Structure 1
Amino acid sequence: MSGAHDNGNPPRKRKLIEVALPLEAISKASKADKDRKVGTIKNIHKWFAPMPAPAWRALLFAATIDDPGDAARRAELLDIIEGLVPDKGTAPSEEALKRARAALAEQGSELPTVLDPFCGGGSTLVEAQRLSFPTVASDLNPVPALVTRVETHLVPSVLGKPAVTGSGDGFEGIADDPMAGFLADVEHYARLVEQQVREQVGHLYEPVEGGEVVAWLWARTVPCANPACGIPLPLYSSPWLSKQKGREAWLRPVPTGRAIRFEIGEGAALTVPNATKKDGRGGKFTCPACGTDVDEKYIRKSGLEARMGLQMLAIAIDDGTVGRRFVSDSSDSLGAGVDVPVDAPDLEFPAQALGFRIQAYGLKSHQDLYTPRQLHTLGAFADAVAKVPSWVQRDGGDEVQANAISSVLAICVSKMAQANSSQTRWRLDSRNGSAKAEPGFGRQAIPMLWDFAEVNPFGESVGSWYAQVTTVSAGLKALPRIPRSGVVRQMDARKAGSLVPDGSALVATDPPYFAQIPYADLSDYFYVWLRRAASGIHPDLFGTMATPKTDELIANPYRQGGPEKARQYFIDGFVDVFSSLKTASRSDLPMVVIYAHRQEENKDGEMSSSAWDALLEAMIRAGIGVVGTWPIHATNSTRQRGQASNALASYIVMICRPRDAAAVSVDRRGFISALRQELPGALKELQQSSIPAVDLAQAAIGPGMAVFSRYAKVTEPDGSVMRVREALACINDELARVLSEQEGDFDADTRWCVRWFEQYQWEQGSFGEAELLANALNTSLHALEDAGVVKARAGKTAMLRPEELPSSYDPVLNHRTSVWEVAVHLSRVLEGKGAGSGVDAAGVLLARARPRIEDDSIKELAYLLYNICERKGWSDSARRFNNLVSSWPDLQTAARAAERQGAVPTQDSLAFDATAEGDEEDLLF
């Protein structure tokens, strides 16, 4: 554990979370949970940036259980945690849960109430209930408050009850499940809702000959900028409708009179016309009739002048075979008497908001996101669900059942909106090869989409009522079967401590991420439909026309009058939050706070983060100190999104306790001295956990702030108090110093390579400079060339890029092996494609290098090289070395497997004759 310290105070009993965690197991389960598409509580409703459930399960147990101080017993407790986090991200077995509950019971003290004032998607509370903790949750936003109320209060309240409409026996093979009756009721009343809605709006969805309609594909239009043409110009990004092998289909625009109609082309071998979109970025389109270009400025002006329309591109049909078939349609369903309903949601978008750009195109209110018939349909579903409580009670169900069933169906309506608006994309690369609709909110924003898919609400594909009920039911099945109901309130987090008696709670929360996600503005998208469907049974949640925004704790510069005022608002708000939570927290328990926002380089080249600065400053002002941190790797951003995304690959778990009332002050020199004493060991622990290199600086904040926050104050030479931002700068400086000092542990060849790489990366430098550096480090250019990592020609010297290295490299047969050499070859194999590449092949190479090179030295070199690359702005190389670190646990597993399979030779076999040595180029490891 990084950062734990007693500061000379009487020892207190530490919790396991302050000493040890099985990070690799937790991270593996968290990654798997992130990747799972079905059978998880994420299926219940969309929320933004949720914390993986397995991580919470492990953290809550470890934050409550005492560290035994005995290595053997500690190993048993860590084994219990590993049982709680199956590597496929699924729920733990009942046996694993019994072991965990028994260990908590053996401790003797009553389980604390888990309190989360930012409940979000509910994973904290769901996993707390799974471990039998009582729970209390709150959120200012009614959308997550309802979702968490369903998960932790309403569903537990109906467990074991027979179905209102029958026993529920045999329901999907789970007759013995205490949730079976409830799930049977959900399915039953969902059918009644669909039946009523179909009678009301089914005529708006005319059947198409040849199969069931999956989606109608639309494009927005603007008048052509050429006055002599003036046709409605369809704005679409790609001509492709399907790239499924054997089912290829694409659009062929055909100018006809004063319009463009579309024919469907088929087959991969034919020449496919370009889309009207002219390039990969921005909004520049070409008229297929006259060739005139229109740019985004013109499109925005057309939208603001109400000259933007819609045109159908094609209809996707499921004809009962594998794949999709497409037909063109010359009729205009929107012009066939379908008007916007009078009761459509007229909630306006904010004039400016984080993540919103649609206002600039004339889309001013929520109803502008939908086609007229989508508005009719969603309204009809919401109104039908609002009647469900009376239906349930008419059929003999009690009020609890009525509220639970109708709340789940209201969530289904809200989820239905996610795939029934102009935010729904047509995706060509689905898992089974068939093109399909992709619901909105692929990222935390409402962007402007030129073309979109309008799904069939009465079908069985993405976005249909059937699909929502099916996926939400699957999410409900992932909930624990604990009949104890939790408490959920819609409340400002500043007051959440009042929900529990003072000194009774285990505080565990994942607070909002500063200015990264506009939670309230985004969730109005769901709120308008939830309010229409569920305000009758949840008047405490839906008493306002929109989600509360004035007290939302994010740094929104549009709402708070600029970036600096927004930052100060965030700090002041969280001082109140942490002060309240400190009062609520049980004195023997730490607070567990998750944060996942990385530092950025400012204009002066220093690493800083307004998000981290603000959150930590609020903690310290509230009298709370960080006593340690853990990195949980829940995603691997390096392969998917790259360095340019600035995405964290890890969540940083901060373990916090109230700062000692007797804390002393120290000057800047004393603070840096303490950092230098404690940070190297903490960083070594972080590196041994294989935290991705991209996150090392972020994770180092934990042990660094543990030092800073233990003092009452740190004074600068001029007598002023050191601010958090300056403390973070000191921590970053010490991180760079520690990483540089690790260079001294490397062999001479590696030290030369590091120095040269830092100066030139893969570019050429002068031979004379290279020779001088080699002499100074007690090596030679000839030796480096002989090792195969450097090329020196015509007075110039350059490092060989990993892809330039020979594929025949084998460290066993290499008479001169350096850490650099093994590291770059590992990167080459790991990043490569085809035979002899990938994790397994890299594991063989690592196993064969082990007799000469220590694993830790390779990993330390990768951390150092990443740090250099990030400082220099070398994103491609930074990604490469970060990937090497991130893959380290898998590489070690592969290396152990290779050793068991005999891939590493014995000492006797290392002797080879001159003939074999001469054939070295042909040897493959």
Structure 2
Amino acid sequence: MNRRLIEKTFPIKEISKECVREKRIRKGHISSLHVWWARRPLTASRVTIFSSFIKDLENGTNSVEPNEIVKLSKWESGIDKTIIEKARKKILSNKNKKFKILDPFAGGGSIPFEAQRLGFETYALDYNPVATCILKCVLEFPQKFISDKKGFIDSRKNNLLLDGIKKWGEWIQNETEKEIGKFYSTTKNDETVVGYVWNKTISCQNPKCGAEIPLSRSYYLYKKNKRVVVLYPFIKNKKVEFKILDSEKNKIPKDFDPNVGSIHSAKAKCFVCNSMIDSNQTRQLFFDKKTNEKLIAVISYKKGKTGKIYRIADNEDLKQFKKTEDFLKKKIEQIKTQEGIDPLPSEELPPPGGLGFRVQRYGMTKWTDLFNSRQKLALIVFSEKVRKAFDILISEGEDEEFAKALVAYLALGVDRLANYGSTLCYLNPTGGRGVANTFGRHVLSMVPNYAESNPFNPEGASWIKACESIEAWLERALTVESNPSVVNQSSATNIPYDNDFFDGVFTDPPYYDMIAYAGLSDFFYVWLKRMLGNIFPDVFMTPLTPKSKEIVAHPNTENKSPKEYFEKLLIQSFIEIHRVLKFDGIAVIVYGHKSTDGWETLIKSLLNSGLVVTAAWPIHTEMQGRLEAQETASLASSIYMVCRKWKKEPIGFYREIKKEMKKYLKKKLEQLWNEGISGADFFISAIGSAIEVFGKYDKIIDDKDKEVSILKLLNDTRTIVTDYAINKVIKGEFSEEISQMTRFYILWRWAYGEAKAPFDNGSKMALSVGIDIEHEWNKGFIVKDKELIHVLGPNERNEKELDESQDLIDILHKALLIWKKEKREAVEKFLEEKGYGNSEVFKRIAQAISESLPVESTEKKWLDGFLTGYRAGATQSEIQSKLF
């Protein structure tokens, strides 16, 4: 068999390090061109594609050493002429021809872009028109309009698009600023506005009060480098007013906590009478349009001066906004009359309860509802200038295809303004641009205290910065000249190519119920359609993005079972991948969903398509800080599964396969452990490795000739992984002495820390240690919180409720609660009574849990203090200092 390098070895640790490093890079990165969700790292895409077209070290002379793979993965290598040319020659030397590569879920373009960079004949598909537009700007237009084709480009002067974006970006800036720049001006000593802070307001529902409640989750305006600036609310004539307190000038009252706002989880508090409004009533007030919004503060800076200036909005600011509202009405009528289009996106949002949306419950039912009057004005005027730029280009005799490409980039710039210019943006008090973008998460949620940015601020999220960001990406992307890729808007369930057409398929399919790509991308589509609809009518032909064939498990889908709907379309897409892949071709499927439900659906779909998994590699792609900031569990790694179109063995026997799985997984788990893969990532990575064993067979039968389900094989895998992990975590001893509940607790802390995780994950973990989670939740430390499982620590438990339990973990928790009261003798007596007076297993379990938790964890601090006191000879003061 023609085995490839990626099927034998892959430098996980080194590539993971480069992927995490890439996450911190902004300038020139593909992500700076336009938002797209769950983009794969360029680093991982480049080296997985390359390694898939290099022969296994044992089978040929055209192979490379792992250190060459690592070198190719570095961010700098993407524009290193020598390294890229060498990689191209290594690939081409195998058959002296260009291989055809397909990504049928191309999305933001990372995977096909790297295939193109490596010299492959590249094809990219996506069902979504916004993705199609991005893909054209990534894979087609840049390579199409190079004026000097010498193989490698050393200067921005060699590219027509770069010059065009700079020229027409400046023209749009000047024309737009002349028309609406006055609405962002300030009379305060030549200051430039960074942004405005708004509060949405509701009336107090106490009939004896009725005060206006400015809603805010937090009162921080700035919090960095020891300087703190806050909005300080106070009551004046039964009204909530604000003043700004700056730690460099004012003393901030000790009893004032800026983190405690007037609204939390939709529950609002009136600061005048202290009455509360429950979440349902708050949402109803918004839905019934019985709300308002109030301009609270203005943030600016003065050229040549360091730091931002913060002030309370005054009457001039309010008058300026009122003039904006009046001008907006006139501008809408002008565009309707002159161009015959409605410039505002009046299209409906998805129905309430849809995946990725939380705003409809607050009365936001149309896309235009997500913007205030000044934001609407800015976006419709910038959009108008983009359309005019195209008309001028054509009237001046510019090549139509070039004009279309140029205007597409300018339209992406307007999308960037929309992303930083909606009422779903919040103020970033730690600096940066000052205003955080709409899509910090994969969900659109109401922001009660939103921040409005100035599109003419050259230091912020402005039009000029949007153009510069596009230019920076293009300049870097075009360092290496490539042929344009073929971009098609098409569903992966019906790939428009012949059988056995592609040498490789590399793709990142949708993640079950994680991201509502079509719904979320409508945020951009409604603006792009107004700018590009007449230029690219085939792409922007529908009122909103098409959704009937979107492969996502929507909870409010018309189909009875979102899971069955998702599985049906995913299987169909994998069957299509199998069909278009050559027999000696190779496919790499990337997946990083955190739920076991999503993974089981993927695996079932993959195996039913006829593809055979030959290798699976976990690549760490997320920054640790981001993961630690999340309250729910998330994978740090994505699994890259290598697949072939090889014929499967017709029948496998369960007894033999189970032995083979144990043997193979022992070797793979040791490798994963040594590579630093841990927690939830370890479990998912092991599943990928197990598929390599049982995925070779069409059918697996037991001793009674009954077919063994994929679910049973996955449960077997979890049991093997659980036993291995427990032994590793407690350092190989006492594993047989530990109860099922204690094993579950240790495993949970190791896998998820103190985070919550989906119920399905918890249920399957419990099953792997022999317990039924439904029989245990809400009785002890396992708590069901809606669709999540939360495992309580000792600081969250009641000492009296632990009195009767004989389970080691409950005894440890009670010992810690007694210890917290500084009752050392009581702890010693309690442990003696329970049989753990000087127990090595007890200490080892406590130590293992401590080592699984982050340093800031309260539970870890308690455990470390307890363990210090457990040592012979520890002084009482030492014990207490460690504990507290």
- The partner residue of 1:540 within 538, 541, 544 is 538
Q: What do the CA deviations read for 1:603-650 (whole angstroms, capped 9, x no partner)?
A: xxxxxx221111111122211221220010112447742684221011
Q: Secondary structure at the match of 1:66?
A: coil
**1:110-156 CA deviation, whole Å, 9 max, x = no partner?**
23221011111100111111111111111111111111111110011
1:64–1:589 Cα contact (<8 Å) kept = no
What is the aligned partner in structure 2 of residue 347 from structure 1? 347
* Alpha-carbon spacing, 1:115–1:199, altered in 2? closer, same or farther (3 Å): same
Instruction: State the partner residue of 2:583.
Output: 587
Aligned to 1:213: 193
Would you say the 8 A contact 2:196–2:451 is kept in 1? yes
SS at match of 1:436: coil
Q: 99, 108, 116: which one pairs with 1:121?
A: 108
Distance in 1 between the 2:832 and 2:98 partners? 65
Q: Is the 8 A contact 1:126 1:152 kept in 2?
A: yes
Q: Deviations over 1:708-760 (max 9, x none)?
A: 221111235665533322221121122224446769984x6999899998599
1:570 has 2:553 as partner: no
The TM-score, its normalising length taken from structure 1, stands at 0.76
In structure 2, relative to structure 1, the CA distance for the partners of 1:257 and 1:26 (3 Å cut) is same
Aligned position for 2:387: 386
Answer yes or no: is 1:415 the counterpart of 2:416.
Answer: yes
- State the partner residue of 2:654: 668
**Among residues 191, 198, 203, which one is paired with 1:223 in the alignment?**
203
Structure 2: distance between partners of 1:492 and 1:820: 54
Structure 1 SS opposite 2:402: helix
SS of the residue 1:735 aligns to: helix
1:419–1:462 CA contact under 8 A, matched in 2: no
Partner of 1:62: 51
Q: Once the 2 structures are TM-superposed, how far is the Cα of residue 317 of structure 1 from its aligned partner?
A: 0.9
Q: How does 1:37-186 map to 2 (within 5 A)?
A: 37-69=26-58, 74=63, 76-86=64-74, 91-160=78-147, 176-177=155-156, 180-186=159-165
| SS of structure 2 residue aligned to 1:542 | coil
Matches within 5 A, 1:410-449: 410-430=411-431, 436-449=434-447
Q: Deviations over 1:556-609 (max 9, x none)?
A: 1211445xx21111111122211111121122222100000134xxxxxxxxx2
Q: Secondary structure at the match of 1:91?
A: helix
Paired with 1:743 and 1:256, the residues of 2 have a C-alpha distance of 59
Aligned twin of 2:366: 365
2:307 is matched with which residue: 314, 320, 323?
A: 323
Q: How does 1:470-481 map to 2 (within 5 A)?
A: 470-480=468-478, 481=480
SS in structure 1 at match of 2:445:
coil
Q: CA deviation at 1:290?
A: 3.6
Report whether the alignment pairs 1:265 with 2:251: no
Following superposition, the deviation at residue 276 of structure 1 comes to 10
Q: CA deviation at 1:247?
A: 5.3
Q: Which residue of 1 aligns with 2:502?
A: 504
**1:554 CA drift (Å):** 0.7
Change (3 A) 1:141 1:744: closer
Shift of the 287–89 alpha-carbon distance from structure 1 to 2, 3 Å rule, reads farther
Q: After superposition, what is the alpha-carbon deviation per residue over 1:759-793, rounded to whole angstroms, capped at 9, x for unaligned?
A: 99798999xx999xxxxxxxxxxxxxxxxxxx994
The answer (yes or no) to whether the contact 2:393–2:403 under 8 Å persists in 1 is yes
CA distance in 1, matches of 2:507, 2:726: 36
Over 3 Å counting, the alpha-carbon distance change for 1:739 and 1:306 in structure 2 is: closer
How many Å separate the matches in 2 of 1:744 and 1:289?
55
What is the alpha-carbon distance in structure 2 between the residues aligned to residue 236 and residue 484 of structure 1? Answer: 52
What is the distance in 1 between the residues matched to 2:578 and 2:741? Answer: 51
C-alpha change, 1:770 and 1:226, in structure 2 (3 Å) is closer
Counterpart amino acid of residue 355 in structure 2: L
What is the number of residues matched between the two proteins? 761
Letter aligned with residue 318 of structure 1: Y
Aligned-residue offset at 1:227: 3.1
Calculate the aligned-residue CA RMSD, in Å. Answer: 3.7
Deviation at 1:418, TM superposition (A): 0.3
Gaps of 5+ in 1: 1-11, 163-173, 600-608, 772-790, 800-815, 834-873, 882-925
Q: Which moved more, 1:185-194 or 1:285-294?
A: 285-294
User: Which residue in 1 is equivalent to 2:219?
Assistant: 239
Change beyond 3 A, Cα 1:642–1:428: closer
Structure 1 position 796 matched with structure 2 position 831: yes
**d(CA) in 1 for partners of 2:133, 2:286:** 36
**What TM-score comes out, normalization by structure 2 length?**
0.79
1: CA distance, partners of 2:718 / 2:833: 30
> Counterpart of 2:683 in 1: which secondary structure?
helix
Does residue 1:405 correspond to 2:406, yes or no? yes
Cα deviation code 1:786-837 (max 9, x no counterpart) = xxxxx994462799xxxxxxxxxxxxxxxx9xx9799979959x9669xxxx
What is the DSSP-based 3-state SS (H/G/I as helix, E as strand, rest coil) of the residue aligned with 1:590?
A: strand
Alignment partner, residue 18 of structure 1 = 7
Task: Give the match for residue 490 of structure 2.
Answer: 491
Q: How far off is 1:204 after superposition?
A: 3.0
Match of 1:27 in 2: 16
Quote the sequence identity (%). Answer: 25
CA shift, 1:179, in A, is 5.0
> How far has the Cα of 1:335 moved from its partner?
3.9
In structure 1, C-alpha distance between the alignment counterparts of 2:725 and 2:295, rounded to whole Å: 58
Q: CA deviation at 1:673?
A: 2.7
| Aligned partners of 2:229 and 2:245 also within 8 Å | yes
| 2:487 alignment partner, SS class | strand
Is the contact between residue 31 and residue 89 of structure 1 (CA under 8 Å) also seen in structure 2?
Answer: no
**Partner in structure 1 of residue 756 of structure 2:** none
- In 2, Cα distance between equivalents of 1:383 and 1:129: 34
Structure 2: runs of 5 or more not aligned: 334-341, 747-792, 809-825, 835-839, 865-884
Q: Please show how residues 511-530 of structure 1 align to structure 2 within 5 Å.
A: 511-530=509-528
2:592 paired residue among 590, 596, 611: 596
Contact 2:216 2:448 in 1 (8 A): yes
**Matching residue of 2:872:** none
Residues 143-197 of structure 1 show CA distances to partners (whole Å, capped at 9, x for unaligned) of: 11111111110011112369xxxxxxxxxxx973465442122011011112222
Q: Secondary structure of the residue that 1:495 maps to in structure 2?
A: coil
Structure 2 residue matching 1:581: 3-state secondary structure: helix
Which residue identity lines up with residue 688 of structure 1 in the other structure? N
